[in-house]
């Protein structure tokens, strides 16, 4: 491995280190992605070893979509898995969407058994791409339940967990197309 180790100091630009994720996550069908950003190949620095290069682009007529989540319910979590000499990661996205409107019900109906891609933005604006050319993000269940709740003060809505299995963790620095791609 040609990577050079360097000192890793406390590095909080402007003293910022808020937790949680933004109130929007971005999603699309894995099959609708035209091109993926590239993973590092023989990176020379630690930062390069965690950086994706390029943009995710969508096939003609397709785009990414945004999904609103209730504040302080969204979480991006990295789990380490695997045996010795075979370690890898599972990235988890958890969120709660308020209400039981037809759109969110329809989304869960469509997403539960399909292959998706998510882009998650943390409180500092750093983006994580859940999905690559080989592996999608998939639905795992509803960690905080789905439904009306019992009391009138209960929180009615849909929770969801999606996971993405990856050999390494990377930061995505590209754009998110919320408008349809066209040919040419």
CB 92 within 8 A of CB 75: yes
Q: Is 184 in the site for other proteins (CB under 8 A)?
A: yes
Report how far residue 143's alpha carbon sits from residue 181's, in angstroms, rounded to the nearest whole number: 34
The yes or no reply on residue 117 touching other proteins (CB under 8 A) is: no
Transcribe 9-49 into DSSP letters: ----GGG----SB-SEEEEEEGGGEEE-PBPPSS-SSTTGG
Answer yes or no whether residue 179 interacts with other proteins by CB under 8 A. Answer: yes
Q: Closer to other proteins at the Cβ: 17 or 175?
A: 175
Dig out the tokens for 73 from the structure. Answer: 């319910």
User: Does residue 70 belong to the site contacting other proteins (CB under 8 A)?
Assistant: no
- Give me the least distance between CB of 100 and other proteins, in Å please: 27
Q: Choose the stretch contacting other proteins; rule: CB under 8 A; options: 81-89, 139-147, 152-160, 175-183.
A: 175-183
Q: Are 118 and 27 in contact (CB under 8 A)?
A: yes
Distance CA 10, CA 84 (A): 29
For residues 90-129, b (16+ Cβ closer than 10 Å) or e, as one string?
ebbbbbbbeeeeeebeebeeebeeeebbbbbbbeeeebbb
176 part of the interface to other proteins, by CB under 8 A: yes
Site stretch for other proteins (CB under 8 A), options 53-61, 81-89, 142-150, 152-160: 53-61
Q: CB under 8 A: which stretch of 72-80, 93-101, 161-169, 171-179 binds other proteins?
A: 171-179
Q: Which of 15, 26, 94, 108 binds other proteins (CB under 8 A)?
A: 26
Q: Which helix (H) or strand (E) holds 95?
A: strand 88-98
With contacts defined by CB under 8 A, name the span among 68-76, 96-104, 136-144, 168-176 that binds other proteins.
Answer: 168-176
In the complex with other proteins, the residue whose CB is nearer, 116 or 158, is: 116
Residues lying near other proteins in the complex (CB under 8 A) are found at: 26, 54-55, 57, 173-182, 184
């Amino acid at each position: 491995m040609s990577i050079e180790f360097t000192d890793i100091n406390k590095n909080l630009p402007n003293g910022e280190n808020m937790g949680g994720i933004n109130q929007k996550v971005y999603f699309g069908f894995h099959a609708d992605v035209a091109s993926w950003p590239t993973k590092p190949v023989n990176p020379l620095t630690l930062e390069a070893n965690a950086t994706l290069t390029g943009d995710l682009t969508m096939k003609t007529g397709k785009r990414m979509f945004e999904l609103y989540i209730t504040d302080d319910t969204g979480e991006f979590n990295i789990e380490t898995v695997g045996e010795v000499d075979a370690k890898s990661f599972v990235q988890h996205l958890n969120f709660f969407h308020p209400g039981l409107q037809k759109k969110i019900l329809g989304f869960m109906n469509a997403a539960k058994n399909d292959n998706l891609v998510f882009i998650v933005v943390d409180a500092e604006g750093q983006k994580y791409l859940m999905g690559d050319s080989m592996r999608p993000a998939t639905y795992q269940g509803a960690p905080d339940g789905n439904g009306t709740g019992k009391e009138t003060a209960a929180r009615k809505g849909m929770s969801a967990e999606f996971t993405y299995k990856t050999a390494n963790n990377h930061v995505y620095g590209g754009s998110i197309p919320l408008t349809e791609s066209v040919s040419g």
